[in-house]
Structures are given as structure tokens and as C-alpha cells.
Chains A and B, each alone.
Chain A
Amino acid sequence: MLATLAQAVVNGLLIGGIYALVSIGVTLIFGVVKIVNFAQGEFVMIGMYISFFLATRYGIDPLLSLAVSMPVLFLIGVALQHFLIRRVLGLSDMPQIFLTFALSLLLMNLALLLFTANYRTVQTPYSDSALYLGPLYIPVAKLIAFVLAMALSAALWVFLHATDMGKAMRAAAQKPEVAMLMGINTNRVFCVAVGVSLALAGAAGSLLMPFYPASPMAGQVFVLMAFVAVVLGTLGNVKGALVASLMMGVAESLGIQFVGADSGLIVVFLMLLLTLAFRPSGLAGGAAR
């Protein structure tokens, strides 16, 4: 019994790490640019396809392909902010939300057109192996994904707190007018923020490839969980998103194990609604960092 419980927690944490990578990206964009990116899942999907093609054409391991998927998505992010998002800044949230929503639809269907709906998988030497710690088993591919996800999150944290650009981002997030007065080029900061956020999404995609099949719709599952995590952890709060994602992964896993195999999502949503009932701004309260 205890072994089952422990295993359920481990499973939840492992997948929670992936949710975290996606949700951190969403919360970063929201914190800095103040826009909810409904298309984040599709950028995960793009990361997956990049890694898939590199693996099948050139035999590059998905983990190594991070070196390609992250920069490519960073550039896409910069372009996204510069050409698209910039035009809807300052409008009410409705056109903003629907712009990213339409973008999500566009990317999904473009992928369908270009790559067809077939599932694409990558087989790596560690795809099917697991580590054993007593009664617990930890699939290697998922463990690597988790570790790297945490590393990237930590790197983001350092970036935000220890570098000039990071601090400029936080300044622009907290008080955009003041930041401008201090000479910070908000558009450039936004470009970097969106770029970093999409790079994280791309990383999530690459990390998923060893054990998850790519398809045009692959991002949808992750984006839903990411959004719940972002709200749960307070919009704009990176630490909150991380913690919330891990909590949700575990809650989902426990829900499946002990309530019913179809109850994972219900548990997560109920967790969200209950939290909002008592803390309308999410777990971290009103702080936007």
C-alpha cells in the first residue's frame, strides 16, 4: 500500500516537472507582457517536431536537440512579440485572448497540413528503461526530463534575479511606466520575455520526445494543465507556477490511483476551484513575483 502511494507520488512529480516547464512559460509571459498565451501548447508541439526531425534525419538524441529547439523557439518568440503581440497590447484582454487562441488553432492545423496526423515517436536507448529503488521504479527518460526541467526553471530564476535583463523584465512586469522612465526599452524586454517563454516550451517538447508521441494536437493536454497551474500558483509568479505544477501532477496521480482512473482531472479542477474560493489570486496571494 505504501509502495503504491509512494510510486503514485513519484509518478506525479515526474510529469509535474513537464507541466512546470510549460506553465512557467505561460506565467512569465503573463507577468511581463500581461497577456495570456493560449497557444503555448502549440510551441511545445513545435519543439517536439523539431526534435523528432533531428532524431530521425540525423540521429540526434532529443536531449541534445535542446540546443536547437530552444534557440529556434526563442527566435519565434521574439518574432511573435515584435510582429503580433505588440499590436494588441493595451487593448482589453478579450482581443488578446482570442488572438492567441486563433494562433493556437492556426498552428495546430498548419502542423496537421504539413506533418499529417500520424503519431511520431522517437526511440532512444533509455526510452524504455527504469531505475529501481526498492519497490519504486523511476523511468529513466522521465527522470531526465524532470531533472532538466528543474534545472531550466532554476536557470530562469537566476536569470530573473541576477542579470540586468532579468531585473529589467521584473521591473517592466511590476511597473511598466516607471521602467520606461528608467530607460528600459519595454519592447525589447517583452521580446526577450516571450522568447524565453517559448524557449522553455520548446524545451518541454524536446524533453517529452523520448517517451511521448508527437502529433499536431500534442500540446493541448499540457496547456490545459499549465493554465490551471498558472492560476493556482498566481498569475505572473514563477515559483508559484512551479510549485503548483508539481502539486497538480501529484494530485492527478493520487486521484487516478485512489479515486478512479478517470478522476485525475476532476481532482485537479476541484483543487483549483477550492483554492480560488479561499484565495482568489492563487496560492501566492497578490505578489507578482
Chain B
Amino acid sequence: MKNGRGRTSQQRQRRREFLIKTAGGALVTTALAAFPLRLRAAEPVNIGALYPVTGSMAQIGQGCVNAAKLAVQMVNDAGGIKSLGGAKLNLIVSDVQSDTTVTRTETDRLINGYKLAAIHGCFASALTLIASEVAERAKVPLITGSSSDQLNKDRHYTFTPFARASQFAQAQLQMSKLVSDKPKVAVIFENTAFGTSTSNGLREKAPAEGVEIVMFEPYSAGFADAGPLINKVKASGADALFSVSYLNDLILIVRTIKQVGLKIALNGGSGGFVIPDFYKSVGTLAEGLQGVAHWNHDCSAEAEKVNAVYKKQYGEFLFEYAGGLVAQTFMLADALERAASTDPEKVRDALAALDVSSGYAAMGPGGRVKFGPDGKNIYAHPVGVQWQNGDLASVFPKDDARAPLVKT
């Protein structure tokens, strides 16, 4: 009571803490609110691009971003969107860090911070599922090459111009019959969204294709050693192996098969198998290996043209997902032309009405894009590819084959 303020030190401590919290909160708020998050995009058309530039999928993500920038440049150099007075496309890239939470918040941030006409992303099915969910609720159209069949369920704003996981499965099964009459197939897949959706398709369609599946096992992605897994494959007596994996595991699988001296036909599916890095990592071991892809650079003259430009700039061929997203950019440009507006709702409707069979927008197996009511391209189908002389050649089905299948 004699003491001037009559407080205990503990109470002073608490008061200090309250003040600090308030002051800190106010500081942070002011700092953040000062961010210029709303772009006055009168002229340029904002397109969001969400890719994993860091994290486990970094090299593919970086390649995708490169292709996205190239595509936008191509559209702009050709005059931009003429129905909008030559408006240029403005690409807004965000790194989703190969992480689901970051994808969620970044999709939101892009949609709310910029006046987006459309979005494309995210390469990995697991990430795209989230982005598409957010886009659906925000009513912004999203176009993607990701293969998960779930992307077409209950969606009005998601468009998938390329083959679905179930179609990949069928193609893989058919290709195995090119090698042997009654193939006995071992299926190994990583326990991720990509692995499970593709492998489910394999299991469902195998009986109809006359293929016997003798082993069907998920494995933990990112293992240290493929030895135990390949040992199991060997014990199953399979003569063909379907592996649904990203790159790091594929490298180990391919090398271990060689080490073990296992004579087995490997179909590496899609994902990490169809990128230049795969060849760089396993070298001549890749020769003759077959896989499937939703896009390949030899599918049309336009594709080869883009490939040449990309190769000149980045030193490696334009891989599946990246090439696909160049086509997607042109599909968006086509939709914007017809919509003559940057209103996402109008763009969405224009995409739904898309029907192209020429030009860069139609690059891809089948050469035609038209969306059904569920957002799937009714003409989409995968191509079987084979590594030949350090590059990927389309070898299956007949109409899409650009090079003969090399028998190993």
C-alpha cells in the first residue's frame, strides 16, 4: 500500500504481456493490411499458375513454370486476346511447395488477391484436388492435366483436357500384350493419390484385357533401397512390371532390376518416367523402356515446334505435363476470345463450349478437345511411349504412333 502503484511483480508481468500482445497484433495487422493485394487489371488478363517449385516435386514444378511462361509469351506475341483489345495474358505464379496446406492457402490467396480469369495447376493429383476444391467453391475455372478421376466428380469448374488415370491403366494393359501374349503383371505403386488412382484403374480393367495380375502392392514412396521390393517382384514370377512412381523411386527400381539381373518388361507408367531427368539419371538403362503419357512432343507439328523452342531455351525436351499445359494455355486463350470477358463465370462457360481441332490448343493425342458435362475431354486418350535414343517416341496406339516399337 505504501508502494506507489501497489502491484505485485507478477501482475505487472501479466499487464506487460497483454500490452505486448495488443501492440504486436496491431503492428502485424497494419503491416499486412498495407500490402497491395488487389491489382487493378484493366488491360492484362490474370491467369493463376500453381506448381510445386520447391519440395519433393521441385524439378517437375520448375519445368512446368518454365513452360507456363513460354506459353503465355507465345499467346502474347501472337497478339494476345483480340476480342479484349489485344489484352495480354498475365501469369501469376505461386509455389505450392509440394504441400497440401500451402496449396489451399495459395489458391485462395491468388483467387482473392488478383482478379483471376482462370487457373491452371498443380501437376500432382493430390495438390490439384485441393486447388480444384477451392476453385469450385470460389467459382473460378481450373484447367489441369492431372490424371486423378476424382477431379471430374461433382465439379462444374474443373476441366481436364487429357487422359484420365483409368485410361492410362487400360493403355498400359494393352501395351503389355504387345510384348507377350499372356502377360503376368506385377503392379507396384506408391501410396499417394497418384499411385492409388492409377493402380485402381489397372486392377479394374485387367480381366477385360486378358491380363493376369500376379502381384498388386502399394509401397512407401521415397524408400532408401528398392532391393526388398524387387525381391518380392521376382518371387511373384511376373514377366512384366507396372510401376506407378515418381522419379526418385523409379531410378532405384530401374537400377535394382538391372543389378538383380531380373528379366522383366518394365512399363513405367507416367509421372517420373516421362521426364528428361529420368534418362539423365539412369542413362542407357532407359532405352527400350515403355510408358504412357497424356501428351508427347511428337504428337503433332505444333507440338514439335513448341518442343524446339523449349529445347533451345532449357536444353531438354518438352515433357508430358509441361507440353500439356502449353496447350491448356491456348485453350484458355481460345475461351477468353469467345467469352470476350475476364469474368470467371463467362470464361468457364466458354471453356465448357470449347471445340478445337487445330492449332496449339488442340495439341495432344487425338488432336481434338471438346469437354463433356463432367469436364472431361471426350477425345482424350493416352499415348504409349518408349525411350528411344535418349528421347521419348510415341509408339501406341497405331494412329498416334510416330515411331515403330523397338523390341528389346
Q: Which residues of A contact B (CB under 8 A)?
A: 4, 7-8, 11-12, 14-15, 18-19, 109, 112, 116-121, 123, 127-130, 137, 139-142, 211-213, 215, 217, 220-222, 225, 252-253, 256-257, 260-262, 264-265
Known contacts A213-B281, A222-B224, A262-B219; 12 further A-B pairs (Cβ under 8 A):
A14-B227, A15-B225, A19-B224, A117-B54, A118-B280, A137-B260, A139-B227, A142-B259, A225-B224, A252-B228, A256-B229, A261-B188
Please determine whether A128 and B223 come into contact, CB atoms closer than 8 angstroms: no
Classify the secondary structure of B's interface with A. helix
User: B247 within 8 Å of A by Cβ?
Assistant: yes
> Please, could you name 24 A-B residue pairs with CB atoms under 8 Å apart, sorted by A?
A12-B228, A14-B227, A15-B224, A15-B225, A109-B54, A117-B58, A118-B280, A119-B59, A128-B259, A130-B259, A137-B261, A139-B227, A142-B259, A213-B248, A217-B56, A221-B223, A221-B224, A222-B224, A253-B228, A256-B229, A260-B217, A260-B218, A261-B218, A262-B217
Report the minimal beta-carbon distance from B244 to chain A, rounded to whole angstroms: 12
User: B90 within 8 Å of A by Cβ?
Assistant: no
User: B139 within 8 Å of A by Cβ?
Assistant: no
Contact of A4 among B229, B231, B247 (CB under 8 A): B231
Contact of B59 among A116, A222, A256 (CB under 8 A): A116
Contact of A257 among B54, B56, B232, B282 (CB under 8 A): B232
Contact A128-B62, Cβ < 8 Å, known A7-B231, A14-B227, A139-B227: no
Query: Who on chain B is nearest to A256 by CB?
Result: B228
* Residues in B whose Cβ lies below 8 Å from that of A137: 259-261
* Residues in B whose Cβ lies below 8 Å from that of A265: 220
Contact of B231 among A11, A120, A123, A222 (CB under 8 A): A11
Question: Which 10 A-B residue pairs are closest in the complex by CB-CB distance?
Answer: A117-B58, A11-B227, A261-B217, A256-B228, A261-B219, A139-B259, A253-B228, A15-B225, A117-B59, A128-B258
Please determine whether B259 and A112 come into contact, CB atoms closer than 8 angstroms: no
CA distance A7 to B256 in the complex (A): 14
* Residues in B whose Cβ lies below 8 Å from that of A8: 228, 231
User: B366 within 8 Å of A by Cβ?
Assistant: no
Query: Who on chain B is nearest to A12 by CB?
Result: B228
* Residues in A whose Cβ lies below 8 Å from that of B232: 256-257, 261
Contact A264-B228, Cβ < 8 Å, known A119-B281, A121-B251, A121-B281: yes
Query: Who on chain A is nearest to B254 by CB?
Result: A128
Please determine whether B58 and A18 come into contact, CB atoms closer than 8 angstroms: no
Report the minimal beta-carbon distance from A6 to chain B, rounded to whole angstroms: 10
Please determine whether A118 and B277 come into contact, CB atoms closer than 8 angstroms: yes
User: B222 within 8 Å of A by Cβ?
Assistant: yes
Report the minimal beta-carbon distance from A218 to chain B, rounded to whole angstroms: 9
Contact A119-B227, Cβ < 8 Å, known A4-B235, A130-B260, A213-B281: no
Please determine whether A257 and B217 come into contact, CB atoms closer than 8 angstroms: no
Q: Which residues of B contact A (CB under 8 A)?
A: 54, 56, 58-59, 62, 188, 191, 217-220, 222-225, 227-229, 231-232, 235, 247-248, 251-252, 255-256, 258-261, 277, 280-283, 285
CA distance A137 to B230 in the complex (A): 12
Contact A119-B247, Cβ < 8 Å, known A128-B258, A142-B227: yes
Please determine whether B260 and A139 come into contact, CB atoms closer than 8 angstroms: yes
Please indicate which of the listed interface residues B191, B219, B224, B235 has the most CB atoms of chain A within 10 Å of its own CB.
B224
Count A-B contacts at CB 8 Å: 113
* Residues in B whose Cβ lies below 8 Å from that of A264: 220, 223, 228
CA distance A119 to B277 in the complex (A): 7
Query: Who on chain A is nearest to B258 by CB?
Result: A128
CA distance A257 to B225 in the complex (A): 13
Please determine whether A213 and B251 come into contact, CB atoms closer than 8 angstroms: yes
CA distance A19 to B223 in the complex (A): 13
* Residues in A whose Cβ lies below 8 Å from that of B235: 4, 257
Report the minimal beta-carbon distance from A29 to chain B, rounded to whole angstroms: 21
* Residues in B whose Cβ lies below 8 Å from that of A142: 225, 227, 259
Please determine whether B228 and A11 come into contact, CB atoms closer than 8 angstroms: yes
* Residues in B whose Cβ lies below 8 Å from that of A212: 224, 252
* Residues in A whose Cβ lies below 8 Å from that of B251: 119, 121, 213
Query: Who on chain A is nearest to B57 by CB?
Result: A117
Query: Who on chain B is nearest to A211 by CB?
Result: B255
Please determine whether B248 and A119 come into contact, CB atoms closer than 8 angstroms: yes
CA distance A250 to B302 in the complex (A): 53
Report the minimal beta-carbon distance from B61 to chain A, rounded to whole angstroms: 8
Contact of A118 among B59, B252, B282 (CB under 8 A): B59
Query: Who on chain B is nearest to A118 by CB?
Result: B59
Please determine whether A128 and B59 come into contact, CB atoms closer than 8 angstroms: no
Report the minimal beta-carbon distance from B301 to chain A, rounded to whole angstroms: 30
Please determine whether B62 and A116 come into contact, CB atoms closer than 8 angstroms: yes
Please determine whether B191 and A262 come into contact, CB atoms closer than 8 angstroms: yes
Query: Who on chain A is nearest to B220 by CB?
Result: A262
* Residues in A whose Cβ lies below 8 Å from that of B224: 15, 18-19, 212, 221-222, 225
Contact of A221 among B54, B222, B228, B247 (CB under 8 A): B222
CA distance A47 to B218 in the complex (A): 31
CA distance A221 to B56 in the complex (A): 12
CA distance A4 to B237 in the complex (A): 12
CA distance A180 to B242 in the complex (A): 61
CA distance A220 to B232 in the complex (A): 25
Contact A112-B261, Cβ < 8 Å, known A213-B281, A221-B222, A222-B224: no
CA distance A112 to B261 in the complex (A): 34
Query: Who on chain B is nearest to A224 by CB?
Result: B224
Query: Who on chain A is nearest to B54 by CB?
Result: A112
Query: Who on chain A is nearest to B235 by CB?
Result: A4
Please determine whether B248 and A215 come into contact, CB atoms closer than 8 angstroms: yes
Please determine whether B255 and A128 come into contact, CB atoms closer than 8 angstroms: yes
CA distance A91 to B101 in the complex (A): 34
Please determine whether A121 and B282 come into contact, CB atoms closer than 8 angstroms: yes
CA distance A112 to B386 in the complex (A): 30
CA distance A18 to B224 in the complex (A): 10
Please determine whether B260 and A256 come into contact, CB atoms closer than 8 angstroms: no
CA distance A121 to B168 in the complex (A): 29
Query: Who on chain A is nearest to B231 by CB?
Result: A7
* Residues in A whose Cβ lies below 8 Å from that of B247: 119
Report the minimal beta-carbon distance from B52 to chain A, rounded to whole angstroms: 10
CA distance A256 to B234 in the complex (A): 13
Report the minimal beta-carbon distance from B193 to chain A, rounded to whole angstroms: 15
